[in-house]
Structure 1
Amino acid sequence: MSALAPATRTVLALLEADVAGDWTLAGLAALVHLSPSQLNRVFVADTGRTPLVRLHELRAERMAELLRTTSLSVRAAGARVGWTDPGNATKRFHRHWGMLPTAYRRIVGGIQFQR
């Protein structure tokens, strides 16, 4: 595997450090002094996905961790990773993991949310 471009390394570090951040492609591109289209090209060449696709992957992974290790509700876990709309959080989680967040928590034996 070849070394990552500096812009890719920077964007990955930013996303991993703050998955709940209000990130946009334009905002990320400005931080690394590239146009949005150029950032997409560089990032896809390095990782095989766009920065925002990687952000959604990171959010789904972090939400899964929260469902396994905390008693946060699905709504609260989604909000904690930056998905404030519960329907969107459920849809994106399902797209990544192939199951609903409640099913994921049940299957992996996470802490059950008590009402």
Structure 2
Amino acid sequence: MSEKKEGSGGRNRRRRRTKSKNGPVMKSSSTGDPEAVERALARFKQTPLPRGIPEDIDPPPIEKTLRWITNAVPKPIQKKVGEIVCQRGEFGFLPEERVDEIRGQINNFPIS
């Protein structure tokens, strides 16, 4: 074993970052961000219109309210599925046979 120098006391050691147990705080609102909605709708009122937006939009754009219910996948299941899907050395487009094989392996997990 190496001897500890006097006075060093681990001054140069960095502290590990601890992960938050609660995760990031998400802003929840039934109406969303009103400023973002206004910016999105203002795109249709610009002169000239941005590229990709046709001069005549038929039917005209309308604001639609919807409720989007999400079902989060539990972390342990995310980890298990990730270990199956992300194999070392596999990257890019996979052959259809390999995709079918992965599909069969994760078919019984509660994910969509």
Q: TM-score, with normalisation over the residues of structure 2?
A: 0.22
Larger Rg: 2
Tell which has more relative contact order, 1 or 2 (C-alpha 8 A, sep 6+).
1
Greater per-residue helix proportion: 1
Q: TM-score, with normalisation over the residues of structure 1?
A: 0.21
